[in-house]
Structure 1
Amino acid sequence: MFCYHDKIEKIDMGGGVIRQYLGEGENMNVQHWNMADKSVVRLHKHPQEQFGYVIKGGFKMIVGDETTELKAGDAYFIPPNVLHEFTAIGETEAIDVFSPVKKDFPWKE
């Protein structure tokens, strides 16, 4: 499967967060995110594992009891069912991989 950036639908999640669904396999899917400065993906959890990579900008990130800041070039892993939140630091771009496949986003505004 191939994904061409200019042909992938941009989904406005509200609050300055744009998602692009890049595709899925049998056990995982990949998503591209753009977040405006100070936009927030509010505290939530899900049964999927989540691995991410910051392409541009950064996040203030809460995962469970830990809070940290990540910048472009940093990566993160979130275990299943752990509360987490992202706040963009500057214009931010990231890639997330979910396993198993995740399509629902209960925090969408």
Structure 2
Amino acid sequence: MNEIFLHDNDQQWTDLGEGVMRKILVFNEELMLMKVRFKKGAIGILHQHPQTQISYVSAGKFRYHINGVDRILNAGDSCIIYSQLVHGCECLEEGELIDSFTPYRGDLIQST
């Protein structure tokens, strides 16, 4: 991506199925920002990746599982997920996450 500015309305949502949608926002090779929307009961399956991730709960309520520890996060809460930690979440109240990754997730760019 060569743009410095990005308008939310110009970006498309990708339906990941089972009540989860993703929208890639600005990124370069060092950093990526995206939104992820969840319907109540939707699951972010357990997974891991080499990137460090920070998640901010912009709306809703989520149960996060990170490296064997579970926590409930509400709107305004955040967490950091270090490289290769197994993590996932369950949406307890319909909501949206703002996720950032460093370095960027090239695998997500190729799948959009």
TM-score, structure 2 normalization: 0.89
Structure number having the greater helix percentage: 2
Q: Are 1:10 and 2:13 counterparts?
A: yes
Deviations 1:64-98 (A, max 9, x none): 11001000000100000000011011111110000
Q: Are 1:25 and 2:28 counterparts?
A: yes
Aligned residue type for 1:42: I
The count of residues paired between Structure 1 and Structure 2 equals: 106
Aligned residue type for 1:48: Q
Q: Are 1:66 and 2:63 counterparts?
A: no
Match of 1:88 in 2: 91
Identity %, equivalent residues: 29
Q: Secondary structure at the match of 1:91?
A: strand
Q: Secondary structure at the match of 2:107?
A: coil
How many angstroms apart in 1 are the aligned matches of 2:43 and 2:68?
18
How many angstroms apart in 1 are the aligned matches of 2:86 and 2:92?
20
Aligned residue type for 1:41: G
Q: Extract structure 1 runs of 4+ deviating beyond 6 A.
A: none
Task: After TM superposition, give the deviation of residue 102 of structure 1 in Å.
Answer: 0.6
How many angstroms apart in 2 are the aligned matches of 1:23 and 1:58?
25
Q: Which runs of 5+ in 1 are unaligned?
A: none
Task: After TM superposition, give the deviation of residue 13 of structure 1 in Å.
Answer: 0.8
Match of 1:98 in 2: 101
Task: After TM superposition, give the deviation of residue 25 of structure 1 in Å.
Answer: 2.1
Deviations 1:15-63 (A, max 9, x none): 1101000021230101111100010011100000000110000210100
2:56 to 29, 53, 58: 53
Task: After TM superposition, give the deviation of residue 4 of structure 1 in Å.
Answer: 1.3
RMSD (CA atoms): 1.4
